[in-house]
Structure 1
Amino acid sequence: MNFGSAGNIIVLLALATQACHSTLQDNPAFVFDGKTAMLSLANYEKSDETGQAFSQLIILDKNSTVTIEIVEIPPGVSFFITQIHTHLYNVTLSYDETIIARRYTSGSNIGLVINVNEQNAPKIYVQNDNRANVEALLAVVAYPDNAPVPGGCNMEFDTEIAPYHKLTVTDSTVKVDIQPGASPKSKGIPVPCEANAVQHEMYRLFLPEQDFTSSTYFSSIVDVLTVQGIRANSRKIPSSATGSKMRRVYSAYPGTGSVYAALAITGNNTAAYVPAFTYACSPSNWMDTCQVLNSPFSKVLCAVILFLGFFTTFLGHRYFKTEMFLLGFLSGALLSYITVAIVGNYGPSGNIGISVFLGCILGLTWLGFWWLYAIPVFAILLATTTLGFFWSSIAYFSSPAGVGYLENDTNFWLIFILLIFFVPLALSVVPDSANIICCAILGSYSVVISIDHYVGSNLKYIIINIVRRATSPGFNVAVIHPPYQSKDICLTVFWIILAVAGIIFQLRLNRGRPPFPPGMSVPGTRNLPQSERTPLLVESRMPISASRSDDHIFESPKWYNRFFPCFKLY
């Protein structure tokens, strides 16, 4: 074996163990001298009719063209797909040494179909036009004559036969398209695409969250090169009930790599498309593109939410007027963000800034309403309705794909609203504890999403996905299925523990106290002494517990009144 440089030998030896962890066959008959890569199919097994992959990692020199030769093709092979996968760079794969229209494709996950004929060593060319050496995975997947041809009935993509995916990534979605496969030849005669009986299945595989390493990337690609690998390592995604069968739309999870695979099926014969990959962001600039909150203002807001989350979890009901402001702020900011995102175009930072401002106004308005009227049923209704919105968002976060009833916006929002109001009805059986339960659950989630931002998990998308559904056109057909990995599991357990601890702590803290503080609608009663002869009618709004040892309504500490005169304790 002749290698052109010591660098190639070092890279190949360092990455050789990667193929050992795969169930695919690593081809030892491989020669690469920097300009020509020769790959042998001598180990092809005729008994395997679902395709066999031969893969090898190589280094493409900068501004170079590499010739790929496939040799020792056994008689049982009808066609094979030559693939090139790179991590951060685009390259070009072509049938010809010079670029000719409709005979090449460019990208980071590309492949071309080569039909076997009398030609002894079919050649294909890969060009690296980048100003840097590029690490690439060369793979050849061979198929017998009874296998369908992936992308063989192409009508839209650049090449005559298109066995690859096309990805369109936006801020909220990842659109994955393939072209229909062609049926295998019948007695040596091609079957017209009009009489095509090929079925298609599409799959997705998540990488570990915030893992941008090339070794993990190449390992995941190797896992889904063949039919067996796709079915064993990835999750089947049903087609949309209302959209194209050749397209899947996914909710984007920036920072979590995902591999997309597809199968063409005719009867018992199956062939795999070239897998595609995206992080839904740029890993070379992940600090700005792979995080939801990337502006300084957003990061400060995240830190403030962490503090307020702990405060609400353990002291929300005790500091009732503060809670009224926070609930009004939360509801107002969320509704304002959705409205601003629909009617305006201010960018992420602008939308957040406007939403925070309007949320403060609505928070003060709700606080003033309580201060003037002190109607407990309204206070409970806002808290439980906010929790209901959160519960509905969780239900959407875990909803299945391909349900046509939920893809219809009218049906979806009707069900969403019904789930919102289910929570107030359920908590009406414990009216004295309902507000405490809401504070603990919502406050603990605020803590969790703040930690989520720093550790890179995906629980924040419980809320983000519902905002996308309301503001992003076409999101109704998006597959939500989130990556739920070790970080998400740990944060979920922490969230449950924190919420339960908050409920228990607040119930003990408020034992023996009135369920709600007084407002300003009964003048002169706030500091009125209480005794056995105090008229009941005066304090009808605020019953005093018999277990209290003092004779006065609980007053805020002086230090708290000095710094927060509008948000007093009861």
Structure 2
Amino acid sequence: MGLSVKTSVKIVYFFILFTLKSMTCTKWDDGEIVNISLNNSIPTLYNSEVFSLTTTLSALSTVTVSIADISLLLGFLIVQVHSFKKDFILSFSRNLSIANYVNGTNLGLMLEATNPKALYIINNSPNETLDLYFSIHAYYKNAPVPGGCNMEFNVVDAPFMRIEQNNFFITVDIGPARIFVDGDCDASSMNVTHNFYKMYLNEWDHSVDGYFEGLKKMITVESILEHGTHVPHISTYSPMRRLFSLYPGIGSFYAVIAKNNKMSSAYVPIHTYSYENNYVTWTDISVMIAATIIGLIMNFIGYKLFSFQFATVGLLFAIMLIYTLINFITESLISIAIFYITGFILLYACLKFSTCIYSPLPAMFALGFQLACIIYYSIPDGVLQHSEMFWTVFTGIILITTLLPFFHHGYNIAYPIIGSFCLSIMLDSIIGSYLRYIIINTLRRISVDDFNVAIIDPPYQWRDLTITIFWLLMTLVGIFLHVKNSSKRYVYSDSLQTPLLVTTRNSPPVVYGAIHD
């Protein structure tokens, strides 16, 4: 009895599904030769990917990849191989030399379509099996070759990117592109533009699935334009380099599109988690404790302890100063001790001499500093790259806020905003958002060389939105409490509420009138 048409269609469907799945999820072992046929596939204008494969590579293994059936219309191929976190080697030969291989996690090499060489993927790790994404990108002859005018990297054509980082920056470098049919780097430098793009992964998502999903969104010109955020060129810096402010723990992909007047091509995207260690340091603990104490006092009971609330502004500035030194110089218990000693010395000084200072002034000054930090955090990159412009805007915001006409009652607004932000820093450190970089980025801009050309563009996802809502609610509660109780204060400092004439129990009565014998 023959099969029905419906049953036959189901069998064919499941066969095709099984075949496609086996092509996209395989395992490579040592000594394996992988033959790939492109079946004369050609790319579209913005989608150059003609073959892709998700696979694993066993420990201490070398795999040979051979590519065939390449269309005669093509000029060159970019073979990309991406590993999840672990380094590997991509080479033109089994015998490694300085000019025939690259190593890292996001690699690629250029092959001429008319003479495709075999490639070797090498995993030298004795224990680690690599999760890999293998991808082939095809380009026509008039397309720019990413990294074709490379003068920095070992291989002649370097379509990959280099990434470096320290405590403050992520630095991304590329080699200039050239037109494939031309080959003249001088002419190409005039006709090819390079546009950088960036994309954040979900905050604190370090999963292999999240990594490869993000990779696929930044691997072709089409997907880069759809998902990436364009990174402007800072005019005073090399067009082949971008500096990014570092945000620890969040994954980010960086991509570059080389474009002439006819075609576009994509560099091999590169990725970093920055410093993904999610441990709490002594600095973090100290800042959280101090911020929590200051936030609770200034936001909820400051109207009862007005001199103490005023004094906490001095402690707050001490925290900014000492935290900067701790963060930029060392991480030790001695620095933590200096942090607390300095802070409480300033706290005592403010309490001791608060009656001599007009109290709304420092409160509004602190608010102005915070507003200036928020504006620098939010303003488009490149606007304040010149120090003259930065300091003019920064100090101008502080002075205008400090000297506002209504500053006589400004402490009812200033103290709750500052106090609620301190509480937000505490919660920010707990849930792992990045709103604290409102202050940190400003401190970096002031004290770190070359940070003026760094791209700020902070991540803003659900955790950051949660902290923003919390900050707003705490601010409203604090303003309500301060305004409600402000009528009970006769002067700006509670230390001045003592009557000028004090009558004690043993003092003689005061008699007004003529003096008689």
TM-score, normalising length: structure 1? 0.79
Superposition deviation, residue 103 in structure 1? 0.8
User: How many Å separate the matches in 2 of 1:248 and 1:528?
Assistant: 73
Kept in 2, the 8 Å contact 1:149–1:182? The answer is: yes
1:456 aligns with 2:450: no
Query: Structure 1 residues 352 and 165 mapped into 2: Cα distance closer, same or farther (>3 Å)?
Result: farther
Structure 2: state its 5+ residue gaps: 1-16, 511-517
1:136 aligns with 2:132: yes
- 2:165 maps to which residue? 169
- 2:408 maps to which residue? 431
RMSD over aligned CA atoms reads 2.7
Identity of aligned residues (%): 29
- 2:229 maps to which residue? 235
2:120 to 122, 125, 132: 125
Counterpart secondary structure, 1:209: coil
Equivalent positions of 1:286-365 (< 5 A) are: 286-288=277-279, 294-296=280-282, 298-338=284-324, 345-347=329-331, 351-365=335-349
Superposition deviation, residue 339 in structure 1? 6.5
1:514 aligns with 2:498: no
Superposition deviation, residue 130 in structure 1? 1.1
- 1:10 maps to which residue? none
1:41 aligns with 2:38: yes
Query: Structure 1 residues 516 and 95 mapped into 2: Cα distance closer, same or farther (>3 Å)?
Result: same
Query: Structure 1 residues 195 and 213 mapped into 2: Cα distance closer, same or farther (>3 Å)?
Result: closer
Kept in 2, the 8 Å contact 1:392–1:420? The answer is: yes
Kept in 2, the 8 Å contact 1:250–1:479? The answer is: yes
User: How many Å separate the matches in 2 of 1:269 and 1:129?
Assistant: 38
- 1:396 maps to which residue? 376
1:191 aligns with 2:184: yes
Superposition deviation, residue 298 in structure 1? 3.3
Kept in 2, the 8 Å contact 1:210–1:256? The answer is: yes
Equivalent pairs, count? 485
Superposition deviation, residue 98 in structure 1? 1.6
Counterpart secondary structure, 1:487: helix
- 1:410 maps to which residue? 388
Superposition deviation, residue 503 in structure 1? 0.4
Superposition deviation, residue 165 in structure 1? 0.8
Superposition deviation, residue 256 in structure 1? 0.8
Superposition deviation, residue 348 in structure 1? 6.8
User: How many Å separate the matches in 2 of 1:32 and 1:337?
Assistant: 49
The aligned amino acid for 1:305 is A
Query: Structure 1 residues 31 and 381 mapped into 2: Cα distance closer, same or farther (>3 Å)?
Result: closer
1:369 aligns with 2:369: no
Kept in 2, the 8 Å contact 1:30–1:37? The answer is: no
Kept in 2, the 8 Å contact 1:51–1:227? The answer is: yes
User: How many Å separate the matches in 1 of 2:282 and 2:205?
Assistant: 24
User: How many Å separate the matches in 2 of 1:264 and 1:349?
Assistant: 49
Superposition deviation, residue 341 in structure 1? 7.2
Query: Structure 1 residues 356 and 473 mapped into 2: Cα distance closer, same or farther (>3 Å)?
Result: farther
User: How many Å separate the matches in 1 of 2:314 and 2:398?
Assistant: 17
- 1:182 maps to which residue? 178
User: How many Å separate the matches in 2 of 1:145 and 1:259?
Assistant: 28
1:264 aligns with 2:258: yes
User: How many Å separate the matches in 2 of 1:355 and 1:29?
Assistant: 55
1:225 aligns with 2:225: no
**CA displacement 1:195-244 (0-9 Å, x = unmatched):** 53211000000011111111101111111110001110010001112000
The more displaced of 506-515 and 443-452 is 506-515
Superposition deviation, residue 54 in structure 1? 2.4
Structure 1: state its 5+ residue gaps: 1-15, 21-25, 289-293, 535-570
The aligned amino acid for 1:66 is V
Counterpart secondary structure, 1:287: coil
Superposition deviation, residue 182 in structure 1? 0.6
1:154 aligns with 2:140: no
Kept in 1, the 8 Å contact 2:42–2:50? The answer is: no
- Shift >4 Å, 4+ stretches: 26-33, 336-342, 348-353, 520-529
The aligned amino acid for 1:385 is F
The aligned amino acid for 1:463 is I
Equivalent positions of 1:442-481 (< 5 A) are: 442-481=418-457
The aligned amino acid for 1:51 is S
Superposition deviation, residue 36 in structure 1? 2.9
- 2:458 maps to which residue? 482
The more displaced of 348-357 and 360-369 is 348-357
Query: Structure 1 residues 72 and 100 mapped into 2: Cα distance closer, same or farther (>3 Å)?
Result: same
- 1:204 maps to which residue? 198
User: How many Å separate the matches in 2 of 1:525 and 1:339?
Assistant: 48
Kept in 1, the 8 Å contact 2:198–2:253? The answer is: yes
The aligned amino acid for 1:136 is L
Kept in 2, the 8 Å contact 1:29–1:39? The answer is: no
Counterpart secondary structure, 2:251: strand
- 1:544 maps to which residue? none
Counterpart secondary structure, 2:177: coil
User: How many Å separate the matches in 1 of 2:493 and 2:209?
Assistant: 60
Kept in 2, the 8 Å contact 1:27–1:55? The answer is: no
Kept in 2, the 8 Å contact 1:458–1:483? The answer is: yes
Query: Structure 1 residues 259 and 352 mapped into 2: Cα distance closer, same or farther (>3 Å)?
Result: farther
User: How many Å separate the matches in 2 of 1:135 and 1:83?
Assistant: 14
Query: Structure 1 residues 113 and 30 mapped into 2: Cα distance closer, same or farther (>3 Å)?
Result: farther
**CA displacement 1:452-510 (0-9 Å, x = unmatched):** 11111100100010111122111110111100111111211121121012101221133
Superposition deviation, residue 358 in structure 1? 1.6
User: How many Å separate the matches in 1 of 2:334 and 2:503?
Assistant: 45
**CA displacement 1:45-75 (0-9 Å, x = unmatched):** 3554652252211111111111122232222
1:383 aligns with 2:363: yes
1:107 aligns with 2:113: no
User: How many Å separate the matches in 1 of 2:382 and 2:401?
Assistant: 27
User: How many Å separate the matches in 1 of 2:62 and 2:232?
Assistant: 40
The more displaced of 39-48 and 357-366 is 39-48
